[in-house]
């Protein structure tokens, strides 16, 4: 839903696990349960406390404090931390502390419990691994970030701020952050009469990847595409995930011809890239709509609308192509 104070708001798609975090998301625990006392800090916390923060999946922004007791994670109602979705095994994994003097935790590790879809740390499947500050732990389709700090409240609130502006799956700026950046660049481009171009990108036949290889593979493909995107843009370019399989890129100081060259380069690099999940190779192509600010444009939405229309023209005429 568009916020009334904004000058423009990009069109919404029907999305799953891709909307920006809002205050109500952080309080919604209806599909996410912490049983027993695992969600409460110990009465005598150590100098270095630790927690998990849900970055993507059920109850984004939720914090789970880690104590001197093991934390069992799974789909079972008997789990200390329960995720109620099919990609999570009944007994999926366990977080174990390593205790030092006086029973105070010094470090934490994760062990897979023979789960169907595996346990991943920073996108690598593990049977057991020591967790380090900032590690991303994937359990089914859920991604949690491990934080350990002498100032855990500050570390947690920093992550919540990031969640407001960052897509938890791809680590790209989310729709809200992209809207803000587009407003800034549009104002600068208009004031100084400088070129500004936009790419609206959609991964072709993405539903087929989910249908054939599963949603975990689809998530992996989105992350890998985001990596390709970031690696092949200039420092001043601004890429964001708009939701689902749609991405967008702002190209400051780039005219229409330069934007088409950038779009074509990204299209070719994507088609040649080897997208892999476990042993499955997933060929990907993209369609791209290219739009450039015109003197008659009154707000950024006009540019985005043209880019969106050209994207759909690219898809209608066969996909794996650039229109603009």
pLDDT tens for each residue of 159-190: 998 899 999 999 999 999 999 999 999 999 99
Tell me which CATH homologous superfamily contains domain 175-322: Reverse transcriptase/Diguanylate cyclase domain (3.30.70.270)
Rounded Cα–Cα distance for residues 98 and 104 (Å): 8
Q: Does domain 50-165 have CATH number 2.60.200.20?
A: yes
Q: In degrees to the nearest 10, what's the CA dihedral of 177, 139, 86, 284?
A: 60
Known active-site residue 245 = yes
Please, what is the Cα angle at 102 between 100 and 107, to 5 degrees?
A: 25
Task: Considering the candidates 49, 245, 279, 302, report the single residue annotated as catalytic.
Answer: 245
270: phi then psi, degrees, rounded to nearest 5 = -65, -45
Q: How close are the terminal C-alpha atoms of the chain, in Å?
A: 29
- Low-confidence stretches of the chain (pLDDT beneath 70): 1-47
The domains of the chain are located at 50-165, 175-322
pLDDT at residue 149, as a whole number:
86
Neighbour count for residue 7 (Cβ, 10 Å): 12
pLDDT (0 to 100) of residue 172: 98
pLDDT tens-digit map of 35-84: 554 444 444 444 579 999 999 998 899 999 999 999 999 999 999 999 99
How far is residue 209 from each of residues 90, 160, 221, 262, measured CA to CA in Å?
Answer: 26, 31, 9, 26
Question: DSSP code of 166?
Answer: B
């Amino acid at each position: 839903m568009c916020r009334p104070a904004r000058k423009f708001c990009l069109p919404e798609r029907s999305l799953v696990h891709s909307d920006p975090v809002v205050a109500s998301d952080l309080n919604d625990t209806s599909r996410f349960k912490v049983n027993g006392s695992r969600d409460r800090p110990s009465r005598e916390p150590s100098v270095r406390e630790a927690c998990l923060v849900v970055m993507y999946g059920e109850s984004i922004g939720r914090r789970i404090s880690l104590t001197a007791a093991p934390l069992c994670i799974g789909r079972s109602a008997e789990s200390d931390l329960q995720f109620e979705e099919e990609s999570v095994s009944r007994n999926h994994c366990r977080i174990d502390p390593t205790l030092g003097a006086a029973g105070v935790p010094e470090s934490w590790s994760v062990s897979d419990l023979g789960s169907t879809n595996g346990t991943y740390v920073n996108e690598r499947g593990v049977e057991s691994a020591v967790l380090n500050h900032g590690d991303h732990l994937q359990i089914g389709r859920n991604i949690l970030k491990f934080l350990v700090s002498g100032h855990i409240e500050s570390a947690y609130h920093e992550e919540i701020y990031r969640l407001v502006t960052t897509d938890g799956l791809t680590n790209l700026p989310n729709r809200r952050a992209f809207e803000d950046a587009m407003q800034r660049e549009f104002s600068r481009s208009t004031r100084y009469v400088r070129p500004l171009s936009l790419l609206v990108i959609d991964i072709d036949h993405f539903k087929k990847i989910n249908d054939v290889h599963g949603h975990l593979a689809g998530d992996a493909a989105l992350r890998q595409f985001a990596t390709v995107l970031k690696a092949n843009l200039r420092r001043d370019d601004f890429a964001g995930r708009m939701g689902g399989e749609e991405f967008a890129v702002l190209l400051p100081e780039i005219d229409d011809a330069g934007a088409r060259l950038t779009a074509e380069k990204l299209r070719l690099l994507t088609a040649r890239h080897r997208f892999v999940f476990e042993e499955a190779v997933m060929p990907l192509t993209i369609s791209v709509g290219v739009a450039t600010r015109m003197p008659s444009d009154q707000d950024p939405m006009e540019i985005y609308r043209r880019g969106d229309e050209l994207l759909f023209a690219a898809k209608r005429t066969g996909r794996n192509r650039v229109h603009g």
